[in-house]
Structure 1
Amino acid sequence: MSNRGGPASNGGQGSMLAQPLRPPSAGRAAAHLGLFVLGAVAGLAGTLVQAAWFPGGLLLALAGAAGLFLGGSYATAGRSGAVAPVAGWIVTVILLISARPEGDFLFAAGAGSYLFLFGGMALAVICATVGVGRQPRVGSARLGK
């Protein structure tokens, strides 16, 4: 019978969950802030492009958002890198554009606008879940066993 997940199974270092959390470094915080701003810019640009060149603009806007979300995850080597641009995208698209009366100029009552809103949110969930998760730094660890 093996001792899975116990402190003795990985050289007495303890599990990854038992280690205390450290505050993020200044570089990591700056990267997440930059990704948040890029997410806001991608949301604003996608809002303008999706209505201008339907259906190509819609596909371009969603592909750009998905690339940013997944790229942020790979750039920071964690799922938080996907969540930062998603937060910027959602703040821009949902709160600042579609929830205001001026949003009617950017979002028509057509299918393209709803596909952009709901498709972007679905992509956000997919990219944040599928993105790179943190892995243990032990080189000989076998994950999934």
Structure 2
Amino acid sequence: MPPSGAARALRAGAYLLLAVLGVLTGIAGALVQAAWFPGGLLLALLGLTAVTYGGVQLTRTRMGGVIPAAGWAVVVLFLTTTRPEGDYVFAVGTGTYVFLLGGMVAGVMCATMPKVPQPGGRYVRLGK
């Protein structure tokens, strides 16, 4: 049974909120990860993981994890570009690379976690 119009509107609103949370997590993580190394790096990665896994649990779809991860990736990649003034948001160092690669891994991992419903009958094996 397809979802009703109200359910679709509610899910679209949740996706929009998750996209905004992904962008804000990317901005905050970019600023915090180098400031309080290594605690800031851990905080930034845990923040992204919480937003993506929370999105999956909130919407009960994998898209709930993909959307905040995509918002995070877009803003972080935007912040890695050079400015005409010569300013950089990310310094060159191990922590920055761990933040970029670790964030991508955390986003993909939370977005692709299996959401297979468990069988509810007497037999737990699907072959019986």
TM-score bin, normalised by smaller chain: 0.7 to 0.9
Question: Percent same amino acid among aligned pairs?
Answer: 47
Per-residue CA distance 1:16-66 (angstroms, 9 max, x = gap) = xxx889987111011001100100000000000001000000000000110
Question: Is the alpha carbon distance of 1:144 and 1:115 closer, same or farther for their aligned partners in structure 2, counting shifts above 3 Å?
Answer: farther
User: In the TM superposition, what are the counterparts of 1:1-145 in structure 2 within 5 Å?
Assistant: 25-94=8-77, 96-101=78-83, 105-130=88-113, 133=115, 135=117, 145=126
Provide the residue aligned with 1:7 in structure 2: none
Measure the CA separation in 1 of the matches of 2:98 and 2:88.
17
**Contact 1:77-1:134 at 8 Å conserved across structures:** no
Moved more, 77-86 or 97-106: 97-106
Root-mean-square deviation (CA, aligned residues, Å) is 2.9
Q: Which runs of 5+ in 2 are unaligned?
A: none
CA separation in 2, counterparts of 1:20 and 1:75?
Answer: 18
4+ residue runs over 6 A deviation:
19-24
What amino acid is the match of 2:43?
L
Letter in 1 for 2:12: A
Q: Give the whole-Å Cα distance in 2 for the aligned partners of 1:127 and 1:53.
A: 25
Q: How many pairs does the alignment contain?
A: 124
Letter paired with 2:79: I
Letter in 1 for 2:80: S
For structure 1, the residue ranges without an aligned partner over 5 or more in a row are 1-18
Between structure 1 and structure 2, the one with the greater Rg is 1
User: What residue is the counterpart of 1:8 in the other structure?
Assistant: none
Q: Provide TM-score, normalisation by structure 1.
A: 0.73
Q: Given that residues 51 and 58 in structure 1 are in contact (C-alpha distance below 8 angstroms), is that contact kept between their aligned partners in structure 2?
A: yes
What amino acid is the match of 1:97?
Answer: L
